[in-house]
Structures are given as C-alpha cells and as structure tokens.
Amino acid sequence: MALKQFLTQKLEQRLSPQQIQLMKLLQVPTMELDQRIKQEIEENPALEEGSDELEDEFDNQDDTEENDTDDEFDLSDYIDDDIADYKTYANNQSKDDEERVIPLSGEQSFQEKLSEQLHLLDLNETEFIIADILIGNLDESGYLNRDLEALVDDLAFSMNVITSEQEVKSILVLIQTFDPAGVGARSLQECLLLQINRKQDGDISRFTAKKILEDFFEEFTKKHYDKIALKLEIEDKDLKDAIDEILRLNPKPGGSLRESAKNQLQITPDFVINETEGRLELSLNSRNAPSLKVSREYESMLRSYSEGAKTTKSDKEAVSFVRQKLDGAKWFIDAIKQRQQTLLLTMNAIMHYQFAYFLSGDEAKLRPMILKDIADIVNLDISTISRVSNSKYVQTNFGIYPLKYFFSESLSTDSGEEVSTREVKKILSEAINSESKKIPLTDEKLMDLLNEKGYNIARRTVAKYREQLNFPVARMRKEL
C-alpha cells in the first residue's frame, strides 16, 4: 500500500493559557491564595502589590524628578551584559503542573520515640539491628503487619544478619514492653491483651475482661453478649463492667501519639453572610481581593526602549523578556478579578436558592440543590461550579460551613413535595441518637419510622444514609 499525504481541517475546542490559569485559581481556597500570589510576585518582577492609582503619581511627581538620576533603570544593565540573568534561568516544569507542597512536622515521630526507649536497653549489635528493623516496620497505628519469617529474610539479604524467627520474636516481645502499651502487636486482640496485662491488679472486672479477650474475642467483636454471659456464668452487671474496661483500651496506640502531634487546621471563610432585618448581605473575604498592579518601571522601560532602534540580538531578547513579564502580570491580575466575580456570582446564587435556610439556620429548610441547579442560574459550566464549591467555606450567623454542605439530592414525600436528603438524614440521626441502646432500631424499623412521617424511602436507602452518617448496624450499636 503506497503512502499518501492528505490535507485535512479539524475544528477543536482548546483552553487558552489564561483560561487554564483561571480554572486553577478558582479551586484555590483563601488560605492558599496568599501563597499563590506571593509565588507569582517572586517569579514575575513586573507584578507588584498595591493599588494602581494616578493620585500617587501626581503626589510624588516632584520627588521623582529630583531622584531620577539615582532611581532610574539603566537599560544597559539588561542588554549589554554578555549573559543576561534570564538566559540562565531554567525551568524543567510545565506551567500546567500542579505543585503540591507536603508540610513537614517538627514533632518527634512515633518511631523516634520508640528508638529513644530502645537505646536505653543493653543489647548487642545484632539484637539492636533486629529491634531497629522491627520498629521501622511498625505502621502508623503501632502494629507489626509483616510476618516474622519475611523479616528474617530481609535481615539476611539487606543487613547481612543471620538470625532465626525465634530470636526476632524474642526481640519483638521486648519492644512490646515499650510505651505506649500495645505497640508491636500483630493483631487487635494481641494489642488489647498487652494493655490489659499491664493493668492486672487483682480487679475482678479486669480479670473478666482478659478472659473475654483471650477466649471470646470473636463473640465480643460481634457483640454476642448473651453467649459470653452464658459461657462465663456471670451477671449482666459484671459483664458490663468488663466490657467497659475493654472499651477504655486504645485500639491504635501508635495513632495516639500521631494525633497529639497533629497541627490544628484553621479554617478561613471565603464568604461572609450577614442577616439584617430579614435581608441577607453577602461579602467576599478581603484576602480574595488583593491589591495588585503592573510595575510602572517595567512599562516605562518597554516604552522607552521600543521607541529606539533594536539592532542586536540581545536588544530584541531584552524587549521580548520585558513584554513577556508585563503580559504575564496583566493576565494574572485579570484572572484574580475574574475569580472574584465568579466566586461572588456563584455564592450569590447559592444564597438566594437557600434563602430560607440562611434566615433561620434550620436544616429542614434546606432545598434540594445540585451543581446543575446553580450552573443554570449563573450560566456557567458545572465543572466551574464544582471548582468554586471545592474547599470553600462561608461564615453565617449559625456557624462556618463548607459550600458542599448546601448541595444535596431530592426525595419525594407522600404529598409529592421534593425535600432535601439533608432533612431525612437529620431525622435519621435524631432517631438513632434517641433509641434504646439495649434494643437499637434496625434499618427496617427506621424505614417504617420515616414512612410514617411521609418520606418515601426504601430500606437500602436508609442503610446508605446511615453509613454516610457513620452509624453502624443495629447489632453493633447494642449496649448492655
């Protein structure tokens, strides 16, 4: 088959670099916007902070004329050098790449605290290496999830340490004596037993708790309390005391240290809604409207140099560099302004759509609302609305809420009225919280309860909403 050349035409829709920049800025929350602006100012010398007002220029005109000889840019500094600074700048990343900064914690890690305790022991070199490998293989919760046989192979191939499974196990038993209690366990049952063994002081409830963990752990996890009481031949009160003793143990001993070292996340609202005499007022956080301007010095530099003759290659490259930075600064300022307008337009539509809720704060007055409803109102794409609502918060008279909180699906009642699933979840949550823990409500009974209130809902839908509310099944909610 002979090769042939064809000339074809295609019509494609592509996003411009400015549109891509705007889409990225839309999904950036307020706290990250400050860092994004600072980064842009560092990378682009033609972008500056401050308002671009002519009054400042007139007020300082006399002072500027006196200091022109000292402060004026000398263009020869940029074009007469053999190698300009911008020529040596290297960027190996695309402009479309998203930079994800991983914050580093200054707190001591879980493994480091265990290593401190390890150095207090009198161990030979081989035992120390084994213990160090064991600590390094503990997960975030403090468990050892690798087989001892696999660790023996790792020590032989990577550390050239020939040992036995029994010796590794003996070192593991030593690590299990470290604080916090329960570290180095290979299962939840072993973790709880390590903790209950440290509490043994002759108390009958702790003795019963240990017996339950040793012989009836499966029945305990499935909450078959009747079987446990029957086999141990104890009263319900004694069983309850033993269960309470187990529930006070920590199933994730490593996670307790991790949680204490976590930095608290501070939420800065992107919008503020105030209610005054039945009227709602929407305002944008001032951090979302920064004062930015294009550098006058770069503009005058480009203007003065463009009027002259560009004879050498370095002259043309200098003009191209200045023009590129000026265009980048203008695009970024325009993108910030468009971001402000899009945020206000979208939030204003959400505020009027959920007007009754923002007046009263009653979840029952939340209307069913999906992304398409707001997109149709503001004449924007659904993906744009999704970016606006992502990681954004609004401050109301009733608290600070994420924008996604106001989006929910609809559900039909017996009267044909469309209500928000948020209202159904609220009723479901109240019913579970007020139920008798000795005889918790099953999904079928919860379905009957909602049907009596006029909500047409199936049992599988009740189960889905219950799981979204982080409530376990009825059997797991049972208490003595």
- Render 253-293 in DSSP notation, one character per residue: HHHHHHHHTPPPPPP--SEEEEEETTEEEEEE-GGGS--EE
- The CATH class of 410-477 is mainly alpha
What confidence score (pLDDT) does residue 54 get?
45
pLDDT at residue 224 tops 60:
yes
Inter-CA distances, 180 with 195, 214, 363, 373, Å: 9, 21, 42, 52
pLDDT at residue 176 tops 70:
yes
Poorest-confidence range of 4-13, 305-314, 437-446? 305-314
Q: Identify the H or E element spanning 175.
A: helix 165-175
Average pLDDT over residues 352-360: 89
Average pLDDT over residues 301-323: 68
What confidence score (pLDDT) does residue 76 get?
46
pLDDT at residue 478 tops 50:
yes
What confidence score (pLDDT) does residue 64 get?
45
What confidence score (pLDDT) does residue 349 get?
92
Average pLDDT over residues 178-200: 87
More confident residue, 16 or 365: 365
187 is written with which tokens?
Answer: 């299962």
What confidence score (pLDDT) does residue 89 get?
46
The sign of the dihedral angle between the CA atoms of 93, 95, 98, 99 is: positive
What confidence score (pLDDT) does residue 82 get?
45
Per DSSP, the three-state class of 295 is coil
Average pLDDT over residues 361-368: 82
Question: Buried b / exposed e across 418-428, counting CB within 10 Å, b at 16+?
Answer: ebbbbbbbbbb
Alpha carbon 99 to chain centroid distance?
15
pLDDT band at 327 (very low <50, low <70, confident <90, very high): confident
Q: What DSSP state is assigned to residue 83? A: S
Whole-structure pTM value: 0.57
What confidence score (pLDDT) does residue 350 get?
92
Poorest-confidence range of 18-22, 29-33, 151-155, 449-453? 18-22
Average pLDDT over residues 321-346: 84
Output Rg (C-alpha) for the chain, integer angstroms.
Answer: 33
Report the residue count for the chain.
Answer: 480
What confidence score (pLDDT) does residue 101 get?
44
Poorest-confidence range of 41-50, 81-90, 167-176, 470-479? 81-90
pLDDT band at 277 (very low <50, low <70, confident <90, very high): confident
More confident residue, 141 or 303: 141
pLDDT at residue 77 tops 50:
no
Q: Which tens digit of pLDDT belongs to each residue from 384-431?
A: 888 888 888 889 888 888 888 888 877 777 766 677 777 788 888 888
Distance CA 186, CA 78 (A): 66
Q: What is the mean pLDDT of the chain?
A: 78
Distance CA 394, CA 136 (A): 43
pLDDT at residue 81 tops 80:
no
436 is written with which tokens?
Answer: 């008798």
Domain ranges of the chain: 110-260, 271-406, 410-477
Q: Which tens digit of pLDDT belongs to each residue from 232-271?
A: 888 888 888 888 888 888 888 887 555 544 444 577 888 8
Per DSSP, the three-state class of 72 is coil
Poorest-confidence range of 5-14, 47-56, 173-182, 407-416? 47-56
Q: Identify the H or E element spanning 393.
A: strand 393-396
What confidence score (pLDDT) does residue 348 get?
92
Taking the alpha carbons at both ends of the chain, their separation in whole angstroms is 82
Per DSSP, the three-state class of 455 is strand
What confidence score (pLDDT) does residue 310 get?
55
Q: Which tens digit of pLDDT belongs to each residue from 21-76?
A: 777 777 777 777 878 888 888 888 888 777 655 444 444 444 444 444 444 444 44
Poorest-confidence range of 50-59, 153-162, 345-354, 373-382? 50-59
